[in-house]
Structure 1
Amino acid sequence: MPPKSKHAAGLGNALMNDRFKNHNSNMHKQSAGQITRKDQAGNNYITPAKKEAEWMKMRSVTEQGALDEFLSTAELAGTDFTAEKMNNVKIIHTDQKNPYLLSAAEERGVVKKQNSKRARLTVPRRPPWTASTTAQELDTRERESMLEWRRGLAELQEVDDLLLTPFERNLEVWRQLWRVIERSDLVVQIVDARNPLLFRSDDLERYVKEVDKKKRNLLLVNKADMMTLEQRQAWAEYFVQNGINFRFFSAELAKELNEAKGNAFEGLEDEAEESEEDTDSESAGSEVEEEIEAQGEKLAEETKKVDLQDKKDADEQWVDEEKVGAEAELDGVPLPVAEQTRILTTDDLEALFLKHSPAAPEGAEASEAPQRKTSIGLVGYPNVGKSSTINALLGAKKVSVSATPGKTKHFQTIHLSDRVILCDCPGLVFPNFATTKAEL
Structure 2
Amino acid sequence: ISKAISGKQKKQMLKEEKLKKINKKLNEGVVSDQPISDPANFFLKFVNDSNLTVQQNKEKAIEPFQQPPFYKIDPEIYLNEQNCPNLPLRPPNPQNLSLEEYEKEEEKVFEQYFKKISPDMQQVATEYCQFELNKNVYREVWRVTERSDVVCLIVDARFPLAHCPVNFFNYYKANKKPIILLINKSDLVSPLQLTQHEDFFKHYFVKMKLKADVITYSAMTTPRMELLTKIVKMSRQLVKKYPPTQITIGFMGQPSVGKSKTMNLLVGHKVTKVRITAGCTKHLQTYFLEDFEDETNRSVLFCDCPGLVLPVKNSPRPLQILTGVFPTGRVREFYSVIRLLAENSPKSAEQIKNMVNQKMIMSRYDKEVQFDTPDQMLNALAYQLGFLNKSGPWAHKAGLWLFQRITEGGFHYEFGLDQINVDWWENKWKGGERKWDGSCMIKIGHAEEKQNEQLLNQQENGEENEEVEEK
When the two structures are superposed, what TM-score results if normalisation uses the length of structure 2? 0.50
Q: Contact 1:219 / 1:246 at 8 angstroms: preserved in 2? A: yes
Q: Which residue of 1 aligns with 2:22?
A: 47
Q: Which residue of 2 aligns with 1:275?
A: none
Q: Contact 2:130 / 2:317 at 8 angstroms: preserved in 1? A: no
* Residues 156/35 of structure 1: CA separation in 2 closer, same or farther (3 Å cut): closer
**Aligned pair partner of 2:50 in 36, 52, 65:** 65
Deviation at 1:114, TM superposition (A): 8.0
Deviation at 1:432, TM superposition (A): 2.2
In 2, Cα distance between the equivalents of 1:226 and 1:29?
57
Structure with higher Rg: it is 1
Does 2:283 match 1:415? no
1:167-178 equivalences under 5 Å are: 167-178=131-142
Amino acid at match of 2:252: V
**Aligned pair partner of 2:96 in 132, 135, 142:** 132
Q: Contact 1:185 / 1:358 at 8 angstroms: preserved in 2? A: no
In 1, Cα distance between the equivalents of 2:271 and 2:114?
36
Deviation at 1:436, TM superposition (A): 4.5
Q: Secondary structure at the match of 1:149?
A: helix
1:55-204 equivalences under 5 Å are: 62-65=47-50, 104=68, 118=82, 120-154=84-118, 163-204=127-168
Q: Which residue of 1 aligns with 2:221?
A: 253
Deviation at 1:405, TM superposition (A): 1.8
Q: Which residue of 2 aligns with 1:240?
A: 202
Deviation at 1:420, TM superposition (A): 1.1
Amino acid at match of 1:424: D
Q: Which residue of 2 aligns with 1:428?
A: 308
Q: Contact 2:246 / 2:301 at 8 angstroms: preserved in 1? A: yes
Q: Contact 1:382 / 1:406 at 8 angstroms: preserved in 2? A: yes
Q: Which residue of 1 aligns with 2:274?
A: 401
Amino acid at match of 1:385: G
Instruction: For structure 2, list consecutive stretches of 5 or more residues without a partner in the other structure.
Output: 1-6, 26-38, 55-59, 206-211, 291-295, 321-471
In 1, Cα distance between the equivalents of 2:283 and 2:91?
21
In 2, Cα distance between the equivalents of 1:371 and 1:108?
50
Does 2:188 match 1:226? yes
In 1, Cα distance between the equivalents of 2:52 and 2:167?
35
Deviation at 1:226, TM superposition (A): 1.8
* Residues 356/229 of structure 1: CA separation in 2 closer, same or farther (3 Å cut): same
Q: Contact 1:354 / 1:420 at 8 angstroms: preserved in 2? A: no
Identity fraction in percent: 26
* Residues 28/405 of structure 1: CA separation in 2 closer, same or farther (3 Å cut): closer
Amino acid at match of 2:301: I
Amino acid at match of 1:149: Y
Does 2:35 match 1:35? no
1:355-366 equivalences under 5 Å are: 355-357=237-239, 359=241
* Residues 222/144 of structure 1: CA separation in 2 closer, same or farther (3 Å cut): same
Amino acid at match of 1:194: R
1:200-215 equivalences under 5 Å are: 200-211=164-175, 213=176, 215=177
CA RMSD in angstroms, aligned pairs only = 4.4
1:16-35 equivalences under 5 Å are: 31-35=15-19
* Residues 432/189 of structure 1: CA separation in 2 closer, same or farther (3 Å cut): same
**Deviation string for 1:304-326 (max 9, x for gaps)?**
xxxxxx8xxxxxxxxxxxxxxxx
Q: Secondary structure at the match of 2:131?
A: coil
Deviation at 1:359, TM superposition (A): 4.8
Instruction: For structure 1, list consecutive stretches of 5 or more residues without a partner in the other structure.
Output: 1-21, 37-45, 51-56, 70-95, 259-309, 311-343, 361-369
* Residues 435/253 of structure 1: CA separation in 2 closer, same or farther (3 Å cut): closer
Amino acid at match of 2:309: V
When the two structures are superposed, what TM-score results if normalisation uses the length of structure 1? 0.53
Q: Which residue of 2 aligns with 1:350?
A: 232
In 2, Cα distance between the equivalents of 1:160 and 1:48?
28
In 2, Cα distance between the equivalents of 1:247 and 1:240?
10
In 2, Cα distance between the equivalents of 1:423 and 1:65?
37
**Deviation string for 1:88-120 (max 9, x for gaps)?**
xxxxxxxx9999999759988998888666364
In 1, Cα distance between the equivalents of 2:233 and 2:152?
14
Deviation at 1:67, TM superposition (A): 5.6
Deviation at 1:207, TM superposition (A): 1.8
